[in-house]
Amino acid sequence: MRRDRLGARGEKSKMYPTRSFASPKSRRKRFCSGVEGGELLRQLDGVIAPVRWGSLRRTRPLSVRWGSDRGTAIDRVYINRFFERHSNYIQGVLLEVQGPVYSERYGSNITKTEILDIDPRNMLATIVADLNDRDVLPKEMFDCVVVPQTIQYLTDQVTGLKNLYDSIKPGGVLLVTAPFIQKIDHNGEDADRMRFSPLALKELIETSCDGAEIEVESFGNVLTSIAFLMGISAEEMRPEDFDVFDPAYPMLVTARVRRPS
Ligand SMILES: C[S@@+](CC[C@H](N)C(=O)[O-])C[C@H]1O[C@@H](n2cnc3c(N)ncnc32)[C@H](O)[C@@H]1O
């Protein structure tokens, strides 16, 4: 029974006025009315193949958990690539946010790892501190500071990055990843507040980290970005989908920030 046209007993619904179901073509015609629209339609009809939406014709995602309940979240492919590429820096005395995920996966010759979190319930945290407050970290202590997907939660990113930068030794490195195209974190108790273009991250680091050598990169393309928003997992993609980088559609932005010796 078509519930949108007929009520439960086959009567016309009082809640929803009866709609006529126009064909996609006539709906498109109505949408593109007017002189400019008419011209556009003529061009489209001859040249552009119709979109085959398939299972993507939906206004809710396939997963609201970044695809992690279907497999590996797509941004993690890029985050792993970034830390793997910089694994030579992940050594000595380390600081990582939340848990030793990337330091354990990509680090070597580690002498000590401190874990930072604002959340006192995190039993792995050895430093419980709010990065928005100045001077909450020990100075010049770490060879490498690993900060995945955290700066979007800060209210004061400049102070947060100053704290992190000041905590690395001369010659040490801060490795940061941040989202540009990503759904809001609904678990973050309304703390997920920012997205970073490559330029915005570069300017933020230039403002926050005096004299730093900065290398900002980005990862992603329109396909992986759409798939990530839809909650499709990495396993549902083709490996080569991740190899195309389109600077107009950066999903993930990264920075290697080196403190000169
Ligand atoms: C999404 S997790 C990032 C680390 C995680 N392992 C990952 O790879 O996504 C964000 C972490 O940043 C912490 N955080 C949020 N705001 C913070 C702040 N102001 N100071 C310190 N840590 C903060 C959160 O409690 C959480 O542990």
What Å distances lie between residue 254 and 2, 13, 38, 97, 201, CA to CA?
Answer: 49, 53, 44, 15, 8
What is the per-residue pLDDT for 40? 67
- State the amino acid at position 46 in one-letter form: G
Per the DSSP assignment, residues forming a β-bridge with 256 are 175, 215
What is the per-residue pLDDT for 32? 55
Burial (0-12, 13-18, 19+ Cβ within 10 Å), 67: buried
What is the per-residue pLDDT for 12? 44
Q: Whose CA is nearest to atom 15 of ligand 1?
A: 153
Residue that the structure tokens 């290398």 belong to: 215
CB 107 within 8 A of CB 90: yes
* Residue 76 alpha carbon to ligand 1 centre in Å: 15
What is the per-residue pLDDT for 149? 97
What is the per-residue pLDDT for 48? 78
How far is it, in rounded angstroms, from Cα 23 to Cα 163? 59
What is the per-residue pLDDT for 113? 98
- Ranges of CATH 3.40.50.150 domains, the chain: 74-258
CB 68 within 8 A of CB 236: no
| Ligand 1 atom closest to the CA of 97, numbered from 1 | 4
Question: Would you say the CB of residue 80 lies under 6 angstroms from ligand 1?
Answer: no
* Residue 124 alpha carbon to ligand 1 centre in Å: 12
* Residue 86 alpha carbon to ligand 1 centre in Å: 21
Question: Mutate which of 81, 90, 118 to test ligand 1's pocket (most atoms within 8 Å of Cβ)?
Answer: 118
| Ligand 1 atom closest to the CA of 99, numbered from 1 | 6
| Ligand 1 atom closest to the CA of 130, numbered from 1 | 20
Per the DSSP assignment, residues forming a β-bridge with 93 are 112
What is the per-residue pLDDT for 49? 83
Residues in Cβ contact with 208 at an 8 Å cutoff, skipping those fewer than 6 apart:
157, 158, 159, 160, 161, 162, 165
How far is it, in rounded angstroms, from Cα 199 to Cα 216? 8
pLDDT in tens, the chain (261 residues): 344 433 344 444 444 444 455 666 666 666 555 556 666 666 666 677 889 999 999 999 999 999 999 999 999 999 999 999 999 999 999 999 999 999 999 999 999 999 999 999 999 999 999 999 999 999 999 999 999 999 999 999 999 999 999 999 999 999 999 999 999 997 766 799 999 999 999 999 999 999 999 999 999 999 999 999 999 999 999 999 999 999 999 999 999 999 999
Question: Would you say the CB of residue 98 lies under 6 angstroms from ligand 1?
Answer: yes
* Residue 30 alpha carbon to ligand 1 centre in Å: 48
* Residue 194 alpha carbon to ligand 1 centre in Å: 13
* Residue 150 alpha carbon to ligand 1 centre in Å: 5
How far is it, in rounded angstroms, from Cα 226 to Cα 29? 27
What is the per-residue pLDDT for 36? 61
- Give, in words, the CATH class of 74-258: alpha beta
